Amino acid sequence: MNVEIVSAGEHTGPTRHFGIRLSATARGARLARHLSAEQLASWGWPYDSEANRTAALLVGELAANAAVHGRVRGRDFRLRLTLHPEDATLRIELTDARPDRRPPAPGTLAPAAPEQESGRGLLLVEALATHWGTTCGDPYTKTVWCEVVLG
């Protein structure tokens, strides 16, 4: 597990960052959710706040997708949180090792059938986040991101 915690004093602006690499497993996804909640609490959004619970849910959904659909044996996924305090916007990014498995574009998600046990995670992301999408910065990874106003 590699952690990158950068204090706000090391930036030219008030933006805060947190990044960590975790194993692409259910345990790694669970840890991503818990670490995100802890990080938000340290930035001023307590565990029991709606903002913290919403952000933790979004991280949990994206991390679970990275562990299930973005998993490549022996490769981790990366969680990155970027907080813009001026407008209380949190950007959540999950980078995995499967650029060939891109989710549907925002606004094109089909609802899961009632009998299906999965297929609702990105619908939750779309409902709770102000924006979300996918980017591929290199031929080896993809990043699924979302933004939420913590206000």
At residue 39, the 3 state secondary structure works out as helix
Contact partners, residue 40, CB within 8 Å, separation at least 6: 51, 52, 55, 56, 81, 90, 150
2-110+117-149 is a CATH 3.40.50.620 domain: no
Q: Is the pLDDT score of 44 beyond 90? A: yes
Q: Which residues contact 43 (CB under 8 A, 6 or more apart)?
A: 16, 83
Q: Do the strands 16-23 and 76-84 form a parallel or antiparallel pair, or are they unpaired?
A: antiparallel
Given a cut of 50, is residue 11 above it in pLDDT? no
Task: Say which residue the tokens 């924006």 belong to.
Answer: 131
Is the pLDDT assigned to residue 49 strictly greater than 70?
A: yes
Please tell me the least confidently modeled range out of 80-89, 91-100, 101-110: 101-110
Percentage of residues of the chain with pLDDT beyond 90: 63
Determine the pLDDT at residue 56.
Answer: 97
Residues in contact with 78: Cβ distance below 8 Å, sequence separation at least 6, in sequence order: 19, 20, 21, 22, 93, 94, 95, 96
Distance CA 49, CA 40 (A): 10
